[in-house]
């Protein structure tokens, strides 16, 4: 019996590949650089399933080129690279990986927060440059305390909630902004709701944990940054385009805010000549929010199981467009 064929657009851990190999014939993209749209269309032309990454654009052109496609399994929570409405219209289930990434991403959020507040990146570079000539000086490398400060969380999904849990360990005062109020979480985490302008004005730290869509694109731009305290810090571990990079550069360069820490940028990867890279009061990491080995393995295994379910005609373990099953049953 011929096994279904799948295209895997990035190398994944061997245990996940071995699991998938028992159920499908695998075409594995060999390069670190992602396939171009034309290459992705070509590779998809005779496959039954795709295991994709956030850099793979899934749109009508791709779907037109993939007549056999039965299932798409995305190796992330975010789905802004997928035209979900069009995929759903064609009754193709889309798997994604919610829940697994939240704790690791929250851990990194706090790492970024602490590094920015205590100037870890700046001072570490200073030491490497051979500048540490005096053992101690009480006025050198003064930063900002995290404990007992006020943290504003924008977006109260799974990652935002995990950040709130960690903040309680630092005795932080917690405020949040979300599209809808969440009274049960306010009580659980001792949080208070604020409108976005009020949150920006009141907080010492502002941490972004929202999906990218037309409503959230550049939700943080010049007006919001000018509302922040000059001693405040912005952290973004969600999606790069939720922050206007030009406005952020101006905010940091002109000292509207104290500093920023980003795990995501617009664009990705950030251009080597980006003005942001010329600043000392910013930390940028290369989208490593979930880059912990146990988390990545769990993510890959869930994505693999979703793909296998779709190939077998079963309901996906975690499906982003469950309407496809409702349509099939009507």
C-alpha dist (Å) from residue 165 to 107, 123, 161, 192, 286? 11, 29, 6, 14, 25
How far does Cα 87 stand from its chain's mean position? 22
181 is catalytic: no
- Point out which residues pair with 154 in neighbouring strands: 177, 208
CA-based nearest residue to 76, from 246, 261, 268: 268
Residue from 10, 23, 239, 305 carrying the catalytic annotation:
239
Instruction: Residue 179: count other Cβ atoms within 10 Å of its Cβ.
Output: 10
42 included as an active-site residue? no
Out of 186, 287, 317, 323, pick the active-site residue: 287
Reply yes or no on whether 287 is catalytic. yes
List active site positions.
239, 268, 287
């Amino acid at each position: 019996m011929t096994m279904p064929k799948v295209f895997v657009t990035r190398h994944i851990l061997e245990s996940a590949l071995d699991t998938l190999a028992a159920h499908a014939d695998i075409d594995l993209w060999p390069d670190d650089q992602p396939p171009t749209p034309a290459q992705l269309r070509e590779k998809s032309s005779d496959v039954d399933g795709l295991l994709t990454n956030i850099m793979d654009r899934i749109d009508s052109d791709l779907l037109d080129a993939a007549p056999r496609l039965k299932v798409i399994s995305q190796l992330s929570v975010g789905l802004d690279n997928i035209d979900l409405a069009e995929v759903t219209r064609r009754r193709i289930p889309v798997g994604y990986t919610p829940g697994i990434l939240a704790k690791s991403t929250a851990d990194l959020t706090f790492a970024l927060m602490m590094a920015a507040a205590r100037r870890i990146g700046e001072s570490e570079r200073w030491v490497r440059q051979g500048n540490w000539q005096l053992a101690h000086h009480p006025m050198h490398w003064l930063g900002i305390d995290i404990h007992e400060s006020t943290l504003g969380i924008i977006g109260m999904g799974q990652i935002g909630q995990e950040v709130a849990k960690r903040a309680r360990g630092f005795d932080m005062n917690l405020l949040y902004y979300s599209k809808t109020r969440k009274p049960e979480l306010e009580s659980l985490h001792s949080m208070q709701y604020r409108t976005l302008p009020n949150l920006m004005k009141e907080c010492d730290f502002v941490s972004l944990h929202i999906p990218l869509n037309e409503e959230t694109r550049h939700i943080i731009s010049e007006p919001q940054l000018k509302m922040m305290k000059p001693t405040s810090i912005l952290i973004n571990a969600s999606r790069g385009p939720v922050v206007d990079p030009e406005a952020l550069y101006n905010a940091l360069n002109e000292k509207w805010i104290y500093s920023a820490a980003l795990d995501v940028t617009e664009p990705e990867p950030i251009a080597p000549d980006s003005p942001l890279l010329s600043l000392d009061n910013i930390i940028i990491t290369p989208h490593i929010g979930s880059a912990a080995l146990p988390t990545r393995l769990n993510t890959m295994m869930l994505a693999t199981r979703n793909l296998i379910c779709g190939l077998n005609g079963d309901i996906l373990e975690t499906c982003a467009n469950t309407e496809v099953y409702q349509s099939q049953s009507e």
